[in-house]
Chain A
Amino acid sequence: MGRYVARRLGQMVIVLIGATMVLFACLFVLPGDPVGSIAGSDKARDPAVVAELKARYGLDKSLPEQYVNYVSKVATGDLGEDFIQRREVSEILGPKLANTAKLALLAITLVTVFGMGVGIIAALYRYSILDMATTFFTTMAVGFPTFVIGMLLMKWFAVELQWFPQLGGDKLEGMVLPAVTLAITDIAFVARLTRGTMLEVLRADYVKTAVAKGLPRRRVLFKHVLRNSSIPVVTYLGISFGALLGGALITEAIFNWDGVGLALVQAIQQQNNPIVIGVVTYSVAIFVVLSLIVDLLYAALDPRIRLS
Chain B
Amino acid sequence: MSELVKSPAIGDESPVSATAAAAPEATPKQLTQWAEIRHRFVQNKLAVVGLVIICLLFLTAIFGNMFAPFDPGAQDLENTLASPNGTHWMGTDALGRDMFSRLIAGTRVAMFVGLASIFFAVLIGVALGAIAGYFAGFADTLVMRIADVFLAFPLMIGAVVIILVTGRGITPVIISLAVFSWATVSRLLRSSILSVREMDYVHAAKALGASGWRIVRTHILPNSLTPVLVYATFNVGTTIIGVAALSFLGAGVPVDVPEWGNMLAAGQAFIGVHDYLWLYPSLFVVVTVLGFAFVGDGLRDALDPKLR
Contacts and interface: CB of A to CB of B under 8 A. Distances in A.
B1 A239 contact: yes
Contact of B271 (A19, A138, A151, A199): A151
A240 B286 contact: no
Contacts of A159: 271-272
Interface string B2-18: 11110010001101101
B286 A15 contact: no
A31 interface: yes
Contacts of B12: 192-193, 196
Nearest to B150: A22
A107 B2 CA distance: 9
B152 A284 contact: yes
B282 interface: yes
Contact of B272 (A155, A246, A247, A264): A155
A145 to B, nearest CB: 4
Contacts, number: 166
Nearest to A16: B152
The range of chain A's interface size is 35 or more
Nearest to B8: A189
A138 B290 CA distance: 12
Given A142-B293, A244-B2, A249-B3, A18 B161 contact: no
Interface in B265-308: 268, 271-272, 275, 278, 282, 285-287, 289-290, 293
Interface string A251-274: 101100000000011001101000
A148 interface: yes
Interface string A215-258: 00000000000000000000010011001101111110110000
Contact of B244 (A145, A195, A279): A145
Nearest to B261: A147
Interface of B: 1-5, 8, 12-13, 15-16, 18, 46, 145-146, 148-150, 152-154, 156-157, 160-165, 167, 237, 241, 244-245, 248-251, 264, 268, 271-272, 275, 278, 282, 285-287, 289-290, 293
29 contacts: A15-B152, A16-B152, A26-B164, A30-B164, A30-B165, A31-B167, A107-B2, A139-B16, A142-B289, A143-B237, A145-B4, A145-B245, A146-B2, A146-B245, A147-B248, A151-B268, A152-B282, A182-B2, A189-B8, A192-B13, A192-B15, A240-B5, A246-B157, A250-B245, A250-B249, A268-B160, A276-B164, A279-B157, A284-B152
Contacts of A135: 15-16, 18
A26 B289 CA distance: 30
Contact of A251 (B3, B167, B290): B3
Q: Is the interface of B mostly helix, strand, loop or mixed?
A: helix
A164 interface: no
Given A146-B245, A148-B286, A265-B250, A22 B149 contact: yes
Interface of A: 11, 14-16, 18-19, 22-23, 26-27, 29-31, 107, 134-135, 138-140, 142-148, 151-152, 154-155, 159-160, 182, 185-186, 189, 192-193, 195-196, 199, 236, 239-240, 243-244, 246-251, 253-254, 264-265, 268-269, 271, 276, 279-280, 283-284, 287-288
Nearest to A273: B164
B152 A249 contact: no
Most buried by A among B248, B264, B285: B248
A143 B285 CA distance: 8
